[in-house]
Amino acid sequence: MPDRFRLTLGQLNPVVGAIEANASLARSAWEQARAAGADMLALSEMFITGYQTGDLILKPVFLAEAEAALERLVAECADGPALGIGGPARLGGRLHNAYWVMKHGKVVAKVLKHHLPNTDVFDERRVFAPADICGPYRIGPLRIGSPICEDAWHPDVAETLAETGAEILLVPNGSPYHRGKPDQRLNLMVARVVETGLPLVYLNMVGGQDDQVFDGSSMVLNPGGELAVQMPQFDTCIAHVDFVKGAGGWRAEPGMMAAIPKVWEADYRACVMGLSDYMAKTGFSRAVIGLSGGVDSALVAAIAADALGPENLRCVMLPSPHTSAHSLEDAAACAAALGSRLDTVPISAPQQAVDEALAGLFAGVAPDVTEENIQSRLRGVILMAISNKFGEMLLTTGNKSEVAVGYCTIYGDMSGGYNPLKDMYKTRVFETCRWRNANHRDWMRGPVGLVIPERIITKPPSAELRPNQTDQDSLPPYEVLDAILDGLVERDLSVADLVAQGFDRATVKRVEHLLYISEYKRFQSAPGTRLTSRAFWLDRRYPIAMRFRDPG
């Protein structure tokens, strides 16, 4: 009989700061592993604390609670499979991102993270100390090497583990989603397998945490890069993987093969999960939005209905004298299609009151954008009042194009606790609406079918803050604007680079100027779902007060 080893993988959703709840989740998964006859249960990076903790991990009482919970798990999970679980470890006065491996009431290994990421949304060098590469540990017949997350993105840790006797690589991760990330991970992990000749288990967590969404997509690769197990994207899951030792070494037997969704579905699912978990983890179950009859608020309403259920979403129409009849009709049609409540609160009387209050001070000064912004801010006041009164989180609805160039009113339509569209350009908003109308999945709590009326998608976008206004009165066409922003934000291109691609120099310079002067608005904006590797906030950190302009 060849040697066998059963490894149970817990692709789960720990909550930052919920130490005892995370420990309970770990014990439950361990019980399932024991019932399945597993030799080991593996959980993800920093599981006991949740991930990412930021500076919370530096708080002594928090760190002590996490370490105490891990020590309790050592005793509570003594009679059964080994347990591998991510958590902090203090050694020699230094704090490490560690992987605790416990068996028979003892800690048999504390693997310490070697490469600490300090790019994109990560700032681990701020809170953790790097460690020397740790060697493999033995569980039953198997010597396991565990590069922790970033350690597997570089060849040195895996190669060292292979050279020091590891027979498989188990990689615990806290790897957040962005567009194209599953393919990127697969390519890197295949490279580690090819370099070492070892099977590799890539174990990721799931769940939303502030702006980040951890999307699972855990997998097992055999020597040569063959995919033996593919766990689902975004879903929590327990999988039992059997390894068999033959003449050529250890190999995983074929197991679960979940399909990874296409990008349009993955982006939408990330928005739904990001909102759902943000609400749940901050103590909210109901949301309110200003439903204007425009495409952005309609898409946020659909995301909220799918995340929370239509019955937990309140839509509010706040018409002014400039609101068109078709906007009123479209907002009503969208709310009805979703099955959500729609309230109407006109702002004409509050607007008149503010105008009268300012009449003396503004006498002799021509109306301008000030009066437009008053309308937006009045809507923010009313929506926040509804939020406060009924305990419903206000969702803001600005897309990435608007947020980039400041085509949004601070303390007005930017008011709210979360923005599902913060990292979605306007051109993608239109296509995402079409995708949702044409598709329904089991994880969506909203209804099947056309939930965003076609006219909302096809009519010219307008803030309706003055007569006959359209967005393109103030901005380039969104196809042009988004292409320029893609260059400036996503790819850090120069003005000259974009002009060489055929864009008008004056238009590029204007967009660049708007991008830079709007930084202060973004600094005060609500968090929102990260969909790209250049999302505003942690991916792209620019100063507010600065005078650089590209001379190109």
402 an active-site residue? Answer: no
Alpha helices in 138-207 (DSSP H): 155-163, 181-196
Of the residues 45, 167, 372, 512, which is catalytic?
Answer: 45
Question: For the chain, how many residues are written?
Answer: 552
334 an active-site residue? Answer: no
Q: Between helices 478-485 and 505-517, what is the axis angle to 10°?
A: 70
Question: What is the distance between the terminal CA atoms of the chain, rounded to a whole angstrom?
Answer: 71
Of the residues 77, 149, 271, 334, which is catalytic?
Answer: 149
Element (H, E) at 519: helix 519-523
Yes or no: say if 19 and 261 are a contact pair by the CB < 8 Å rule.
no
Q: Are strands 168-172 and 200-203 parallel, antiparallel or unpaired?
A: parallel
CA distance 394 to 57: 29
CA distance 491 to 148: 29
512 an active-site residue? Answer: no
CA distance 43 to 30: 10
User: Tokens 């505003």 identify what position?
Assistant: 536
- For the chain, what is the total number of helices (H) and then of strands (E)? 16, 19
Q: Is 1 exposed, middle or buried (0-12, 13-18, 19+ CB in 10 A)?
A: exposed
Of the residues 103, 110, 113, 422, which is catalytic?
Answer: 113
Distances (CA, A) of 536 to 399, 420, 432, 520, 533: 11, 13, 20, 12, 9
Cis-peptide, bond into residue 52, ω within 30° of zero: yes
User: Tokens 């993800």 identify what position?
Assistant: 44
Amino acid making up residue 194: V
**Cβ partners under 8 Å of residue 98, min gap 6:** 86, 87, 88, 89, 110, 111, 112, 113, 148
Read off the tokens for 492. 């850090």
| Alpha carbons within 13 A on the beta-carbon side of 154 | 13
Residue-wise burial string across 473-488, b where 16 or more C-beta atoms lie within 10 A, e elsewhere: eebbebebbbbbbbbb
Q: Residue 87: beta bridge partners? A: 98
Region of 253 (left: φ > 0; alpha: ψ -120 to 50; beta: rest) is: beta
Residue-wise burial string across 423-452, b where 16 or more C-beta atoms lie within 10 A, e elsewhere: bbbbbbbbebbebbbeeeeeebbbeeeebb
Region of 425 (left: φ > 0; alpha: ψ -120 to 50; beta: rest) is: beta
Amino acid making up residue 124: E
Q: Which residues are catalytic?
A: 45, 113, 149
